[in-house]
Amino acid sequence: MNRPRSHPLASHASAGRQRVVVILAIAGLLLAAGCGSGDEVAAGNEPDSKYSGVVLGEPTNRPQFTLTDLDGNPFDFYEQTDGKLTFLFFGYTNCPDVCPVHMAQLSEILARPGMPSAKVVFVTADPTRDTPKVMEKFLGNFDPEFIGLTGTEEEIRAAEKAAGIPPAQFDTEDGKPDPDGDYTVSHAGQVLAFAPDNRGYTVYPFGTRTSQYSDDIPLLAAIKPVTGSNPDGGSASTGEAGATSTTEPTTQWGGATLGDLTISDARAPEPTGPNGALYFTVTNEGAADRLLGATTQSSPDVQLHETVEDGGATSMKELPDGVEVPAEGTVRLEPGGTHAMLMDVKRVESGSMMPVTLTFEKAGELNVLVPVVPVTEATR
């Protein structure tokens, strides 16, 4: 049959390092417009949109590409996901935040009673280090039904092009991956969604809340293939898409007070790789101060970073001078913004508490017990 050709869509890149954790993509981040057609991506919901995700200016078509599944068999993406709600993501297993957050969110939501079924396809952007065995273990942390795909670098670059996202890049001297190297991989940070009518209406950048996914999945699943002409490439079904629960689990966040400073909403997502992250909010009711750093027995090295966007790519910038805490102001360390990186973090499980010492220039040291939480809860 004649399959529709894929249409370029907007994207932003994320980066990760084996030893240097990189947390990318900002919730509500403006996405750069896709090249080729001039179509634009809305920066968040359009005022009259029924969707909670980022709405595409024009629907895209389900892309065509063939890669290799984890059993070594050819996987024709279009044919093997045709007519099914599908989430497509290009990432890599050493990513400490962006990739596991997306996978954990989708796993948790799709397991809810009454939620429509969907296929989740994870394409590695780092095939040199992401062997089938490594990918199988990684995806098994979330859902063994998630589909992992790999291939040669050329095949993966072709798949990225078909999906309308920028090609992954390796931060090495020659721009090539090194199986034993410590290097950054920059890759598109959003999940692409394709409804059963084989069209894409929304994308989900890093920072998307679990509730946004859960709001949209029944709506997307209800867009069934139709016959005859239809300028939108599909039509929403009038039948019910299945009941869904929107109840979010609650967690008692950590916090502490030191003089005019109050720490709240502290949490550390359960690590899925060699590195981890630490998020919290600092509220200052007095004179300006500065967060100089953090220490914890769970990590030999904690670094403060901020996310920087340059030419549509998102990367990390270390903050050696710390983070300013303005007078009578608030600073939030959160996914995709300013954040603390836990290098070579020890294995900690959800439900445990991580003792952390925060050091401020004027206020001094403040001890905080930080709850370790599931990845999905850390981004709410």
Q: Does residue 4 sit within a domain?
A: no
210-221 and 98-110 helices cross at what angle (nearest 10)?
50
- 213 with 315, same domain: the answer is no
Q: Is residue 177 part of a domain?
A: yes
Q: Is residue 264 part of a domain?
A: yes
- pLDDT tens for residues 208-219? 899 999 999 999
Is 185 in the same domain as 259? no
Residues 259 and 366 in one domain: yes
Q: Are residues 199 and 330 in the same domain?
A: no
Q: What is the pLDDT of residue 238?
A: 32
Could you list the residue range(s) of the whole structural domain that residue 214 is in? 13-236
pLDDT digits (tens, 9 = 90+) for 346-380: 888 887 778 888 999 999 988 777 888 888 777 76
CATH number, domain with residue 308: 2.60.40.1890
Could you tell me if 56 and 220 are in contact, meaning their C-beta atoms sit under 8 angstroms apart? Answer: no
Residue 173: per-residue pLDDT = 67
Domain boundary among 204, 236, 268: 236
Residues 64, 194 within the same domain: yes
Where is pLDDT greater, at 227 or 60? Answer: 60
Q: Is the per-residue pLDDT at 30 higher than 60?
A: no
Does residue 247 fall inside a structural domain? no
What's residue 148's pLDDT? Answer: 97
Do both 32 and 145 map to the same domain? yes
320 and 364 co-located in one domain: yes
Most confidently modeled range among 9-18, 40-49, 179-188, 201-210: 201-210
- Residues 48, 94, single domain; the answer is yes
Name the residue with higher pLDDT: 106 or 41: 106
312: confidence class by pLDDT, cuts 50, 70, 90? low
pLDDT value for 375: 84
Residues 72 and 182 in one domain: yes
Residue predicted with more confidence, 373 or 324 = 324
Which among 210, 236, 262 is the end of a domain?
A: 236
Count of the separate structural domains present in the chain: 2
Integer Cα distance of 103 and 101 in angstroms: 6
Residue 53 phi/psi, 5-degree rounding, is: -75, -175
**Which parts are annotated binding residues for Cu cation?**
95, 99, 187
CATH of the domain at 126: 3.40.30.10
* Binding site residue list: 95, 99, 187
179 and 44 within one domain? yes
Radius of gyration of the chain (CA): 21
Q: pTM score, two decimals?
A: 0.54
Which two three-digit tokens encode residue 307? 């996310």
- Does residue 196 sit within a domain? yes
Q: What average pLDDT is seen over the chain? A: 77
Domain boundary among 236, 263, 281: 236
